[in-house]
Amino acid sequence: MNPLTTESMRPRLRLLTLLLLIGAIAWLGLSRLQISYDLGAFLPAAQNPTEALLLERLGQGPGAQTLFVKLTVSDPAAAAQMAERLRAVTGVQRVLPEPQRLGIAAIPETIWQHRLLLQDLPADSSAWQVELSQRMDELAFGANQDMLDLVAADPALMAVNTLADAAGDLHMPRFDQGATQVLIVQTSVSAYDPGRLAQVVAELRAQLPSESQLLGAPAYAVDLQDTVRDESTLFSILASLALLGLIIWRFRTWYPVIGVGVPLLAGGVTGILVLTLFYAEVHGITLAFGFTLLGIVIDYPLHLFTHMRMSQTPLKQTVWPVLRVGIVSTLIAYGAFLFSGSQGLEQLGVLACSGILAAALAAAWITQGDAGLRYSSVLPQVATSAGEAAVSLRMLPATLLFLVSGLILWLVPVFNDDLGSLTPVDPDLLAEDARLRHSLGTVDMRHVVAIRDAQLEAVLQKTERLVDKLDELDVDLLGGWQAITQTLPSAARQQARLERLTDPASRKQFEVAIQAAGLQQDAFTTFENAWQQQLEAPGLLTLEDLEQSSELAAPTSLLLLKDDAGWVSVTLLRGLASPGQLRSVLPPGAQLHDLKATAEDLVKRYRQDLSVVLGVALVLLALLLGVALSVRRMLWLLISGGACVCGAAAVSAILQGGLSLFDLMALTLVAGLGLDYLLFYSSPQADAADGAVANAVGLCAASSFLVFGILGISSIPVLRGIGTTVAVGVVLAFLLARFGRQAKAGR
C-alpha cells in the first residue's frame, strides 16, 4: 500500500519546501564558513603564570616542531643528499646535520657585528694562548681559506659559539653506524596549525623513500588526523547504512526514511549558519563533535513518525508535549557548553543548541498535517507492560543502579587527566622516539625555567644569574640549556664586556698570547680591526636587532615572550636528572615549571569547571521538570536519568581506565537521550498511544545504539570512549525506561 497518494501531496510539498530552505541555508552558511584548526581554541584561559606559559608554549618549540627521519641507507653522502632535498620543502626550517659552513658568510650579520659583546674574552693571556692553540689544533685536519679567515677574524669563536648555543647544539647521531642514518627536521609550523602541518609532513614523505621512517610529534599528529578522518568516514557510512536499514525495516516506505534525515540536516546547516554569524572562524572539532551531539535530533522524527503510524491520537496531544520537555531539557544540557570557558566548547554549545531548535522546527514542519501520512498500522506492536506494580518497586532498579554505579565511581579513579593516555600512537614508536630524543640530547619538553619581570633588562639580568648558576651544576644533573641571554646579553653585561675591550691590558694579553702560542704576529689583524671598530662605534645589541634577523627571530621568540604583565624568559633544559635538585639551586625569581603536571592540572580544572557548569544545568533541568511535571515523575526521571548517566560513566571508566574530558560530552548526550526515552515512557499519553511509545523509543534506542556502538570499535581512544559511553548509556536508559514505564504519574 502506498500511503502517499493524492492525500499525501501536501507532505511531499512540505518536504520539498523544507529541502529548498535547507539548501538555501546550507549555501549561505557554507559560503561564510571558515574552518580553523587552532587547538588553542579548545583550551581554557590561563589562570596563573605557569598555565600562561604552558598555553603559550604548547604546539611550538623544539619538541612539537621536530621530526626525525630514519633512513635505511649506509652512505652518508646519500643522507646528505636527502637532507638537501628536505631543506627545499616549504615549512622546513632546518635539516640537521647541516653542511659545514664554517665561514664568516654563514654567520648572521647581527651576530657577527656584535660578536665581541656576546661572549667574554678569555680571562688572561694564558687563557688566550690555550684558546689560540686549540684553534690551530682544530685546523690541523686541513682548513680551507674560509676557515682560516674565520679564525683570523674571530679567534675565540665568539660568533660560532653564540650560534651553537642558540641552536641548542644537538649531539648529532653518527652517520656511519650500521645501515641507518638519522636526519633531524625542524619545521616552522605550529602544532596548532594541523592543516599546514599535514602539508609539510606530506611533502616530506613524498621526498622520502618508502622504507624510511618519519618520527616525531608532528608526524604522529598528522597520522592521527588521517586515522580519525578515515575511521570517522567508515563509521559514518556504516552507521548511516545501519540506520537506513533499521528505518526501512520499521517503516517500509520512503517518506520516513527521508523525513528522519531532514531534521538532522536542517539542524546541521542552521547550526553552521548561526556559528558563522557569531564567529569569524569555526573550529573543525566543533563541527565533528557538534554533529555527534546533534545525533539526538534523529529521535524527534522517529517519535513522530512512529506515533503517526501507530496511534490515532493527534501528535500535538501525544508526542509534542513530551518532546517539548525533552527538547528544552537537551537545550539546557547542551547550553552548559556556552559557559565552559573555552571558545571551542562555546561554539559547540551554539551549534548544538541552534541545531536542535532548527531540527525540532523541521520535524514539526514535515509532520504537520499528519493526516496525509496516517494509515493503518503495518508495524508489529511492541508489547507494553501490563504490570501495575507499585511505583516504589519500579524505581528500585534505577535506584539500585544509581547507588551501585555511584559507589563504583566513588571507589575507582573516575577521571584520567593525562591527555597522553589518549594517544593512539604505537607504544613501540613512542619508545623509539624517546630513545632518539635521549641520544640526540634534545631539550626536555617537560621542564623549563621561567623568569618574569616587567622590564626586559631585569629579565635578562636575572636570566644571566640563572645561567651562571646552571654553569656551576654537574653535567650529570643537567646536560645543557638554551637561554635568551646566549644571543641577547643584558645591556649591563654588554657594557661590562665593552669596558673590558677598552682596557689596554686586554689587548696586551692577546698580543702576548699570540707570541706564546707561536703564531704569526699579523695572523689576527682582522680581529684586531674589529676590536678597534667596536670601540669606535660601541652600539649594543638589542632585541630589535634579533627580531629583524631572519635567522634569529624565531629562536628569540621561543626563548623570550611578552605578555600583558611584562617579559618572560624561558630557559630550555637538556638532560635534567633531578628537577627537585635543580629547583633547590635556582636563584630568586627563577621558577622551574613542570609543564606535564601543569597540563594535568589544567585539564583537571577544566573538567571541574565543566562539571560545575553541567551540575548547574542539571539543577535547571530539575527545576524545569519540576515545573512541567509532577513531583513523582520528576523524581523518577531524575533518579533514572542519573542512574543511566552514572552507570554509563562507571562502565566506561572501568573499560577505559578513567573518563576523559571528551567522555563528559558523551555523558551529556547520554543525559539527553536518556531523558528523551524516560520522558516518553513515563508520559501519561503513553498508554493511549497503543504501543507507539514503546515502538518509537525502541527505534530511537536501537538507532543510537547502532551508531555509537559502531563508533565504540574505533581504534582512536577518544572516539572509542565516546562510542562506548553513549552506547552503554543508551542501553541503560532504554532498559530503565522500559522497566519503569508504570511509574508514570502526574501531568
What is the smallest separation between the CB atom of 213 and another protein, expressed in angstroms? 21
Q: How far is CA 5 from CA 9, 255, 264, 306, in A?
A: 7, 12, 26, 19
By CB under 8 A, tell whether 140 contacts another protein. Answer: yes
Cα–Cα dist 361/363, whole Å:
5
Q: Which residue has the cell 592521527?
A: 224
By CB under 8 A, tell whether 175 contacts another protein. Answer: yes
- 678 CB-near residues (< 8 Å, 6+ apart): 636, 637, 640, 641, 733, 736, 737, 740
Cα–Cα dist 80/261, whole Å:
56
Cα–Cα dist 170/641, whole Å:
57
Query: Would you state the cell numbers that stand for residue 511, as one nine-digit string?
Result: 698580543
CB closer to another protein out of 28 and 172: 172
Q: Which of 238, 379, 496, 523 binds another protein (CB under 8 A)?
A: 523
CB closer to another protein out of 144 and 529: 144
CB closer to another protein out of 80 and 338: 80
CB closer to another protein out of 122 and 295: 122
By CB under 8 A, tell whether 536 contacts another protein. Answer: no
Query: Are 62 and 186 within 8 A, CB to CB?
Result: yes
By CB under 8 A, tell whether 134 contacts another protein. Answer: yes
CB closer to another protein out of 84 and 687: 84
CB closer to another protein out of 94 and 250: 94
DSSP letters, 59-80, are T-STTTTEEEEEE----HHHHH
The number of angstroms, rounded, from the C-alpha of 555 to the middle of its chain's C-alpha atoms is 24
Query: Are 345 and 337 within 8 A, CB to CB?
Result: yes
By CB under 8 A, tell whether 138 contacts another protein. Answer: yes
By CB under 8 A, tell whether 77 contacts another protein. Answer: yes
CB closer to another protein out of 450 and 582: 582
By CB under 8 A, tell whether 686 contacts another protein. Answer: no
Query: Are 648 and 728 within 8 A, CB to CB?
Result: yes
Phi, psi (rounded to 5 degrees) for 142: 100, 115
Stretch that binds another protein, among 172-180, 446-454, 566-574, 641-649 (CB under 8 A): 172-180
By CB under 8 A, tell whether 104 contacts another protein. Answer: no
By CB under 8 A, tell whether 55 contacts another protein. Answer: no
What is the smallest separation between the CB atom of 436 and another protein, expressed in angstroms? 17
Stretch that binds another protein, among 52-60, 144-152, 352-360, 376-384 (CB under 8 A): 144-152
Query: Are 623 and 328 within 8 A, CB to CB?
Result: no
Stretch that binds another protein, among 173-181, 395-403, 443-451, 565-573 (CB under 8 A): 173-181
Burial 201-230 (b: 16+ CB within 10 A, else e): bebbeeebeeebebbbbbbbbbbbbebbee
Q: Which of 100, 317, 381, 715 binds another protein (CB under 8 A)?
A: 100
Q: Which residue has the cell 526521571?
A: 637
CB closer to another protein out of 93 and 134: 134
β partners of residue 593: 448
What is the smallest separation between the CB atom of 504 and another protein, expressed in angstroms? 23
By CB under 8 A, tell whether 438 contacts another protein. Answer: no
Q: State which amino acid sits at residue 260.
A: V
By CB under 8 A, tell whether 375 contacts another protein. Answer: no
Cα–Cα dist 195/178, whole Å:
36
- 533 CB-near residues (< 8 Å, 6+ apart): none
By CB under 8 A, tell whether 76 contacts another protein. Answer: yes
DSSP letters, 171-237, are -PPPSSSTT-EEEEEEES--TT-HHHHHHHHHHHHHHS-TT-EEESHHHHHHHHHHHHHHHHHHHHH
Cα–Cα dist 186/388, whole Å:
71
Peptide bond into 684 cis (omega under 30): no
Give the total residue count for the chain: 747
By CB under 8 A, tell whether 130 contacts another protein. Answer: yes
Stretch that binds another protein, among 137-145, 341-349, 379-387, 707-715 (CB under 8 A): 137-145
What is the smallest separation between the CB atom of 115 and another protein, expressed in angstroms? 17
What is the smallest separation between the CB atom of 608 and another protein, expressed in angstroms? 46
By CB under 8 A, tell whether 426 contacts another protein. Answer: no
CB closer to another protein out of 137 and 388: 137
Phi, psi (rounded to 5 degrees) for 172: -70, 145
**Torsion sign (Cα): 728, 729, 731, 736:** positive
For another protein (CB under 8 A), the number of binding residues is 37
By CB under 8 A, tell whether 516 contacts another protein. Answer: no
- Within 10 angstroms of residue 288's Cβ, the number of other Cβ atoms is 14
Stretch that binds another protein, among 168-176, 248-256, 383-391, 669-677 (CB under 8 A): 168-176
CB closer to another protein out of 55 and 523: 523
Rg (CA), the chain: 34
Q: Which of 12, 85, 174, 435 binds another protein (CB under 8 A)?
A: 174
Query: Would you state the cell numbers that stand for residue 464, as one nine-digit string?
Result: 644571566
What is the smallest separation between the CB atom of 578 and another protein, expressed in angstroms? 19
By CB under 8 A, tell whether 2 contacts another protein. Answer: no
What is the smallest separation between the CB atom of 215 and another protein, expressed in angstroms? 21
Q: In the 8-state DSSP scheme, what is residue 589?
A: T
What is the smallest separation between the CB atom of 79 and another protein, expressed in angstroms? 8
By CB under 8 A, tell whether 476 contacts another protein. Answer: no
What is the smallest separation between the CB atom of 590 and another protein, expressed in angstroms? 17
What is the smallest separation between the CB atom of 585 and another protein, expressed in angstroms? 13
What is the smallest separation between the CB atom of 577 and another protein, expressed in angstroms? 16
Closest among 197, 84, 225, 155 to 510, alpha carbons compared = 155
Cα–Cα dist 255/240, whole Å:
16
By CB under 8 A, tell whether 177 contacts another protein. Answer: yes
By CB under 8 A, tell whether 489 contacts another protein. Answer: no
Q: Which of 21, 127, 425, 554 binds another protein (CB under 8 A)?
A: 127
By CB under 8 A, tell whether 20 contacts another protein. Answer: no
CB closer to another protein out of 465 and 596: 465
By CB under 8 A, tell whether 422 contacts another protein. Answer: no
What is the smallest separation between the CB atom of 567 and another protein, expressed in angstroms? 25
Query: Would you state the cell numbers that stand for residue 153, as one nine-digit string?
Result: 677574524
By CB under 8 A, tell whether 136 contacts another protein. Answer: yes
By CB under 8 A, tell whether 80 contacts another protein. Answer: yes
Which residues in 146-165 contact another protein (CB under 8 A)? 148, 151-152
Cα–Cα dist 674/570, whole Å:
49
Query: What 3-state DSSP class applies to 521?
Result: coil
By CB under 8 A, tell whether 139 contacts another protein. Answer: yes
Cα–Cα dist 594/495, whole Å:
35
Contact residues toward another protein (CB under 8 A) are 76-77, 80, 97, 99-100, 123, 127, 130, 133-134, 136-144, 148, 151-152, 171-172, 174-177, 468, 471-472, 475, 518-520, 523
